[in-house]
Structure 1
């Protein structure tokens, strides 16, 4: 689950007026479908206790993971329509001849504290200062495993544009990112930059980085629409009817980057089980599915290989092509399916 419950102290969020957004009611953002069971304080503390003292041994790898190192020269020389998975939900894409980065998290821990909280299973395949110039950073929401303050600040000089859901950009501006570099969108709003059209699409999730700022920023999925490739990035979401609407309005997609990990029966409304992730992929009308949100952090009670094994079996049964690259391995978007069972 999100690490938002870990934080009780962080910089306050500037409160902008987003009352005109259909997603905001009574000062907070809401899902289109109410959560069946809100995570109250008692349940949050119970989950935190289980995370700290009752975790199975197999939620973390028992060996060093096989990561392919990347260099800036290698990235610059790579052909257009390439993708690299850097870990969790951080992906580097080369579209329209420019580089785009999703939910960049490079810190050791997905936490407000670097001395506690979920720790990386592997180092990123490339250091932040070695990344090439970035046309745009695409952010799905503000949880610590998706929005890394240190990474955002380090990336800022080489990033042309940060594209965020409503309110998330306000955090960036409060951190010192120039407002001219930040573009904030509501669901179904779109923007264009360097030949790529980006549509902010719905998700079913929640937000917050402390115990006092829950749902003050919006969460989203994204459609990345280029001349030669169409990519769907799910961010974090429970399964909901919105995926079908996204497919009807914006599909088909060449590739879905679909959340498949950190799920649990205790939070069905905000993270999908693997079967639901596969259905969401089918709903958005994507050709190939690349499972993300797994393999980097220990954020749930399931075994760390469980997302890979489950989605592989489900996709094979339904004849859905998967792309399962190693961390750092290049994926050609026009021939994305395949990959070895590197996690075994």
Structure 2
């Protein structure tokens, strides 16, 4: 494969312009979370009564097989939401994985932490060979150590933000399989152009590595179609900049979930997610970062229901596929509101 790595523009060259005093920084400063605020949020998680934050019934999943994936045509771009923010693409014959998380818990531990609502539609063992794994940042619900190690033998390249290469090297990934990206850096291949673009977020997997690595989003543009993958982000003007530089997009995969008034700068409400889609000049929006893990205080179905109502009111096409459902960017997007029959009918259920 012919790969060409480049940095676009002097101000966004690989100079770590957002790196100082050993840390990466957002373009728009995010207020720091001190010890007192951290303890306050932890206290909420331990003491606040959660209502419908986890489903009380089995969620629908469509199982996938290796044969089914291999039979998908090589003449278009196929998209499959695997759960949360994990997405499998077949890009004109090549399989690419975005933020693959297959772990039972989004946690550094196997015995505690947010547990999956549903299984992945396919196991790592059953996946075909993967050409590229793209990572947005190193939080546990986006970077799964065990999954990366299991994918190593069948993956050609790992594309990661600056600093995340250190994690992969420690986990046994060969250095020649890793490409690290600064914001606005591009990779040109014979299938598509990829660009790593800014978000308003943070990084860290422990108590001592806060913002030691970068975070961001991914742009994928082929000759025929274009896709945006948000990773995690608070709402910021960067979405307009990305839209102006790389838009319009046929599909935007936008974070819509795990929002709360205690962390408004690093995650978006559904209203902000829809505005980000508009800023990006997107055509069809697919809400991600929902329906798999309990990471906030809202009901598990609330992000999907709120964004569905908002998009309908604004006349914006919204696609909400069941995990495992195969979509083609050339075909009509899936519009079934699968979560609505599973919403609890009780006075405690949030009203929108």
CA deviation after TM superposition for structure 1 residue 66, in Å: 1.0
Contact 1:92 1:102 in 2 (8 A): yes
CA deviation after TM superposition for structure 1 residue 19, in Å: 9.5
The correspondence for 1:59, drawn from 21, 45, 53, is 53
Contact 1:229 1:254 in 2 (8 A): yes
Contact 1:234 1:257 in 2 (8 A): yes
User: Hey, what does 1:38 align to over in structure 2?
Assistant: 32
1:93-108 residue pairs with structure 2 within 5 A? Answer: 93-108=89-104
| Structure 2 CA distance for aligned equivalents of residues 274 and 249 of structure 1 | 24
User: Hey, what does 1:174 align to over in structure 2?
Assistant: 170
Q: May I ask how many residue pairs the two structures share in their alignment?
A: 326
From the superposition, tell whether residues 19 and 91 of structure 1 become closer, same or farther in structure 2 (CA, over 3 Å). closer
User: Hey, what does 1:123 align to over in structure 2?
Assistant: 119
Q: Secondary structure at the match of 1:100?
A: strand
The correspondence for 1:70, drawn from 57, 64, 84, is 64
Q: Secondary structure at the match of 2:125?
A: helix
The alignment's C-alpha RMSD in Å is 1.3
Moved more, 117-126 or 76-85: 76-85
Query: Any unmatched runs of 5+ in structure 1?
Result: 1-17
From the superposition, tell whether residues 193 and 171 of structure 1 become closer, same or farther in structure 2 (CA, over 3 Å). farther
From the superposition, tell whether residues 170 and 194 of structure 1 become closer, same or farther in structure 2 (CA, over 3 Å). farther
| Structure 1 CA distance for aligned equivalents of residues 175 and 190 of structure 2 | 19
The correspondence for 1:21, drawn from 16, 27, 31, is 16
TM-score w.r.t. length of structure 1: 0.92
Contact 2:14 2:185 in 1 (8 A): no
Contact 1:135 1:194 in 2 (8 A): no
| Structure 1 CA distance for aligned equivalents of residues 317 and 284 of structure 2 | 5
CA deviation after TM superposition for structure 1 residue 87, in Å: 0.4
Query: Any unmatched runs of 5+ in structure 2?
Result: 1-12, 341-352
User: Hey, what does 1:147 align to over in structure 2?
Assistant: 143
Contact 2:51 2:298 in 1 (8 A): no
| Structure 2 CA distance for aligned equivalents of residues 109 and 124 of structure 1 | 12
After the TM superposition, list the runs of 4 or more consecutive aligned residues in structure 1 that deviate by more than 4 angstroms: none
1:49 matches 2:43: yes
| Structure 2 CA distance for aligned equivalents of residues 34 and 323 of structure 1 | 32
CA deviation after TM superposition for structure 1 residue 253, in Å: 0.8
1:294-305 residue pairs with structure 2 within 5 A? Answer: 294-305=290-301
| Structure 2 CA distance for aligned equivalents of residues 84 and 296 of structure 1 | 15
| Structure 2 CA distance for aligned equivalents of residues 334 and 55 of structure 1 | 44
| Structure 1 CA distance for aligned equivalents of residues 98 and 201 of structure 2 | 17
CA deviation after TM superposition for structure 1 residue 334, in Å: 1.8
1:283-294 residue pairs with structure 2 within 5 A? Answer: 283-294=279-290
1:264-343 residue pairs with structure 2 within 5 A? Answer: 264-343=260-339
Q: Secondary structure at the match of 1:101?
A: strand
CA deviation after TM superposition for structure 1 residue 56, in Å: 1.3
| Structure 1 CA distance for aligned equivalents of residues 129 and 192 of structure 2 | 16
Contact 1:23 1:29 in 2 (8 A): yes
User: Hey, what does 1:137 align to over in structure 2?
Assistant: 133
1:79-90 residue pairs with structure 2 within 5 A? Answer: 79=73, 80-90=76-86
TM-score w.r.t. length of structure 2: 0.90
Q: Secondary structure at the match of 1:84?
A: strand
| Structure 2 CA distance for aligned equivalents of residues 93 and 43 of structure 1 | 39
